[in-house]
Amino acid sequence: MTAPSAAAIARDERTAAATMLNKVPAITAYFWIIKILGTTVGETAADYLNDTLGLGLNKTSVVVGMALVVVLAFQFRARKYIPALYWLAGTLMTDNLVDGHGVSLNVTTIGFSIALAATFIGWYLSERTLSIHTIVTSKREAWYWLTVLFTFALGTSAGDLVSEKLDIGYWKTGLIFVALIGLVALAHFVFGLGEVVSFWAAYILTRPLGASLGDYLLQPHSAGGLNLGTGLTTFTFLAVIVGAVIYLTISRADLQVADESTV
């Protein structure tokens, strides 16, 4: 029997490493549902710590920031996608990046747009791909989470700009972003908009959607909200997320194998 060539061995080693190191879930309905729920919980949980428990914005930012650093440390050390770690990291990203620092929403929206664009450019120049199907090295994972961080910051800032500064209201703002996500889906499935562009466009838009939903559930009636309370909303949504993550952990329904040909 002929021995495998050096090129074949190297290819097999790359495939094995890619499979082991793929750290992002497959993009299924579960992904988008948990993403929106996690975004909402990020909004409501921060308010729960800030207002209900009386930590204040600065202490809440420190607590959540430290928790995020710890979770990301475990996420980077993991050698494969672990649903609990991945979604915990995503849920810990809150709106404290843009609240309470005296900077106008116009400035933060523009600033985070520039930061996100620079991150995309840096990621592409470094890796020649922005595909979430190829998060197979620590370097790409670092680019991925930096991008996620800025998408959350931009989404929150843009959502608050529309709902509060433009005085459109929370539920109407939510509908606007639902419509925008629908347009992205239409552009992708009907008109052939590329997968990478479609994914990141929808990913950015789900943040203001989730934040608007959270604000609508939390804010008092006088401010156009349902006034359900931070505790009820946070723990109800958390229960749904935990149930979904347990299901995914057992079923492995969102496990994907990296494909280096996908860009």
> How far is 142 from 122, CA to CA, in rounded Å?
12
> Cβ distance 108 to 156 under 8 Å?
no
Six-digit token string for 124: 């592409």
Instruction: Kindly report the average pLDDT of the chain as a whole number.
Output: 85
The backbone torsions φ and ψ at residue 178, rounded to the nearest 5 degrees and listed phi first, read: -60, -45
Query: Quick one: how far is CA 146 from the chain centroid?
Result: 11
Measured CA to CA, the distance from residue 127 to residue 130 in angstroms comes to 8
Per-residue model confidence (pLDDT) at position 147: 96
pLDDT tens for 67-109 read 999 999 999 999 889 999 999 998 887 655 555 556 788 888 8
Taking the C-alpha atoms of residue 31 and residue 186, their distance in angstroms, rounded to an integer, is 19
- Tell me how far apart the alpha carbons of residues 144 and 129 are, in angstroms, rounded to a whole number: 11
pLDDT bucket at 142, cuts 50 / 70 / 90: very high
Average pLDDT, integer, range 243-253? 95
Residue 260 is predicted with a pLDDT of 45
Q: Which two tokens stand for residue 249?
A: 């952990």
Q: For residue 23, which of 72, 61, 79, 66 has the smallest C-alpha distance?
A: 79
How do residues 181-209 score in pLDDT, each as one tens digit?
Answer: 999 999 999 999 999 999 999 999 998 99
